[in-house]
Amino acid sequence: MNHRVIFAPQASDDLENLLVYLMDEAGRETARRYVGKIIDYCLSFETFPKRGAMRPDLRPGLRVVGYRGKASIAFTVENDTVFILRVFHGGQNIAFPDDE
């Protein structure tokens, strides 16, 4: 069974902010390629969504999985939908609007 993957607005903002940051640090093409690979990785959750570590201490149903040792992807799986909630990069603390 394939799941649908949906990016929450905050996750989209996280990816946009990462893209802008990396453009200055690594160049436009490198930044686009790296952020594109994170997005592709998230989209791969459609076939194997229940991966990563459970983190109910942060939010009910929350899972967190790392990407290449540089990013953490926070998401939930509800029925046939994967919700990508946040994408944290470079050691950012995992936080959500009700935590901040």
How high is the pLDDT of residue 70? 87
pLDDT digits (tens, 9 = 90+) for 31-63: 999 999 999 999 999 998 989 999 999 899 999
pLDDT digits (tens, 9 = 90+) for 2-32: 999 999 999 999 999 999 999 998 999 999 9
Domain ranges in the chain?
4-89
* 93: pLDDT strictly greater than 80: no
Q: Rounded to 5 degrees, what are φ and ψ at 41?
A: -60, -45
- Of residues 1 and 60, more confidence is placed in 60
50 C-beta neighbours (distance < 10 Å), count: 10
CATH top class, domain 4-89: alpha beta
